[in-house]
Amino acid sequence: MIEINKTVGEEFEFLVKSESGKILLKSIAFKDEQTISKTVQKLIKTISPVKRFERKTNLNGQFLFELKNEKGKIIGCSGLYNSEAGMENGIKNLNNRLVHNSSNK
């Protein structure tokens, strides 16, 4: 499920959630609703090529990933994972949710 929310600062963000409600990806802040809607539509249509995921490890040894648009700009970041396998499973779940959303459009 993809949710679009208005932030406290009057900007917009989207969340991609798993079936259980866990946040798989939280977007950056967008200034207007039109821009975020276009970004979400592009995200659904392109169904996340692997090269758009940047895998990272933080200073505490936890894993996370960032999702980039076609121009290489970061559009969202995952939560933290305790293992690399968990992070890869998060990417897989995100892809599955995007495929599910694209088939419901």
pLDDT in tens, the chain (105 residues): 889 999 888 899 999 988 888 899 999 999 999 999 998 888 777 655 556 889 999 999 999 999 988 888 899 999 999 999 999 999 988 888 877 665 555
Output phi, psi for 77, to 5 deg: -135, 145
Total-model pTM: 0.78
Q: Which amino acid is it at 104?
A: N
Show the tokens assigned to 12. Answer: 């917009």
- Is 14 in contact with 27 (CB distance < 8 Å)? yes
Output phi, psi for 47, to 5 deg: 40, 60
- Residue ranges and CATH numbers for the domains of the chain are 2-103 (2.30.29.80)
17 CB-near residues (< 8 Å, 6+ apart) = 1, 2, 3, 23, 24, 97
